Structure 1
Amino acid sequence: MDITVALGGGGAKGNAHIGVLRQLEKEGFHIRAVAGTSYGGLIAVFYALGYSPDEIEELFASSDQTQYYGHAPNDGPSLVGLAGVARLLEDKIGDCTFEDLKIPCVLTAVDLKSGNEVLLSRGRVVDAMLATIAIPGIFPARHIDDLELVDGGTLDPVPVLPARMLAPRLPVVAVVLTMPMGGPAQPWNIPFNRYWAGMIISRLLSKMRYDTVWDVFSRSLDITARAMTQYRLEIDRPDVIIRPQVYDIDTLDIVDVREIARRGEVAVESALPHLRSLFTLRNRWRRSMGVYNQRSL
């Protein structure tokens, strides 16, 4: 049972992707191509490199999450840096390019200069990974050639169409980490207090009551992100949508990677009837005719 997967963004929630990939393999599904946005892009690349889900889980579970978000000397303007993440990726991946990957893989980003979505599938993989996770204003933009790239989730929270382009005849399984529309808006917790410079910023924001302003602003961003996700899913129509229950996790939280991965496994177990229905003769014929029958879980 061959499929393509589209791994959506969500920061620390994205560890659920590990469990999704692991359970899909256990149930006999063969992932032939993978597309990723933001944290989903990190997981996508490691999987495409040939890392098993167990190896990806061990990599992130054993890393020091408190060191992910420091500033590097050459960072552009941003509230928080990605120095720790960059060190981790350079250590594990180095100068690997997309041509070195075991299966087709594409990441998404947005070019601030043109406002267009950019599909990253050539060149140095680490540069693409740092671009797809660069939440605008929170993390520094990544410059590749003449492009100024930020998080792909800005325009494409779950990269269904890029996944379909990689393998047009295969069903696309989309893994969505954002809360559906209708629930309470969630503020973003920026981890200023983990760094000495950040502590100063945090105190200044508190004294000027900007912490309250940020709470309101970030909750509005959450609503916008959920609306964009719903809109893109309705337009792009993945064959199956899997939603791990990770809504209690904030984007930059320090988490138990294994526990979050387990939530991904549970989501796949719940989705099995729909996943297996993808391979009925009728649904195979529908895909061959370009008709997509979205199932949401």
Structure 2
Amino acid sequence: MPADSQSTTHTPPLIGLALGGGVARGWAHIGAIQRLEELGVKPDVVCGTSVGALVGGVWLAGHLPALEDWARGLTKRRMLSYVDVMLNGSGLIGGKRLEKTLETYIDDLMIEELPAAFVAVAAELATGHETWIRKGSLVDAIQAAYALPGVFPPRAIHGRWVIDGALVNPLPVSVCRALGARIVIAVGLHADAFGRTISQRREQFGASSSDIDDMARDANAGGPEKRMLRKLFKATGAAPGLGTTMIAAFNIVMDRMTRSRLAGDPPDVLIMPRVGHIPLLDFDQADELISLGKQAVDEHADEIASAMELLS
């Protein structure tokens, strides 16, 4: 468990943990955090972008094992059951079903109640400014952090509409530094995000027609909703579906932004699990992703130990 820095604000933070965005590949954060705990790393500051905010926030709330069990149990069919399609609105997916799932783990927990300082990074829609969510509802902060534009609707946080922070700071090393962390360990998900041909990658995420039909029936979705589900998740011939195309384009922005930000403000330890072969929407690959997260930390164990020695 992280250090109890919320109750000792007079003590300067020593260790910061930055968790980057990466859609489904973010399950690797679960394994990385578990291994860091085993190595005795106790962050005073945890800063997350997108899925990094989700995993980091749930961890600080004390429910990482429950999140792991839920992630490992996901199938494409189960994942589709969380998709509440919006025909009218500012996102294709309403997000209410995912919100209810989050609330089962977090309930009405406030960020101020967490055992370590926590920041969810978002982007203000009106100005494009980077926004740090440091207080208020943890569920709201997490949802704001993963509000991919066009996929999920923006979230109103402290009177401002915000969207996924990966557009402005995909791996929030700078946020940990700004909060005073002396040592920053960062877990990024873009080490091998590109550079392969399509034929070298797994098939893009897609649901079968029968899965979509079953899910539409379970959700009482009519003709228009079913057509939207097919457009989102069913590939047409050799082309990826709409959902894959939108998120892959978003991933290109995250990759370029991550490289730029790291060049100017590198962490003390950079952990990059090799997850690029797993499609961005394959949330049903938690077993492999968690294992890859652990493996990546193991590869940097000596580097982490050396960084920790600087604090003694």
TM-score normalised by L of structure 1: 0.81
Is the contact between residue 18 and residue 185 of structure 2 (CA under 8 Å) also seen in structure 1? yes
Aligned to 2:83: 69
- Aligned 1:91-130 pairs, distance under 5 A: 91-130=104-143
Shift of 1:82: 1.6
Gaps of 5+ in 2: 4-13
Distance in 2 (CA, whole Å) between partners of 1:217 and 1:89 is 24
Give the 3 Å change call, closer, same or farther, for CA 217–92 of structure 1 in structure 2.
closer
TM-score normalised by L of structure 2: 0.78
Aligned to 1:291: none
Distance in 2 (CA, whole Å) between partners of 1:102 and 1:113 is 32
Distance in 1 (CA, whole Å) between partners of 2:137 and 2:160 is 15
Is the contact between residue 242 and residue 268 of structure 1 (CA under 8 Å) also seen in structure 2? yes
Is 1:18–2:47 an aligned residue pair? no
Shift of 1:66: 3.1
Aligned to 1:232: 261
Distance in 2 (CA, whole Å) between partners of 1:212 and 1:20 is 30
Distance in 1 (CA, whole Å) between partners of 2:181 and 2:192 is 27
Pick one of 14, 19, 31 that aligns with 2:43.
31
Shift of 1:251: 2.6
Pick one of 158, 181, 184 that aligns with 2:171.
158
Q: How many residues align?
A: 279
Deviations 1:217-237 (A, max 9, x none): 765543332111111111121
Distance in 2 (CA, whole Å) between partners of 1:107 and 1:200 is 34
Distance in 2 (CA, whole Å) between partners of 1:219 and 1:60 is 21
Shift of 1:57: 1.4
Aligned to 2:9: none
Shift of 1:139: 1.2
Distance in 1 (CA, whole Å) between partners of 2:35 and 2:165 is 26
Is the contact between residue 86 and residue 92 of structure 2 (CA under 8 Å) also seen in structure 1? no
Give the 3 Å change call, closer, same or farther, for CA 54–41 of structure 1 in structure 2.
same
Is 1:174–2:186 an aligned residue pair? yes
Give the 3 Å change call, closer, same or farther, for CA 80–260 of structure 1 in structure 2.
same
Letter in 2 for 1:139: F
Shift of 1:135: 0.5
Q: Say which SS state the counterpart of residue 118 (structure 1) adopts.
A: strand
Structure 1: which 4+ aligned runs deviate by more than 6 Å?
A: 185-188, 204-209
Pick one of 58, 79, 82 that aligns with 2:69.
58
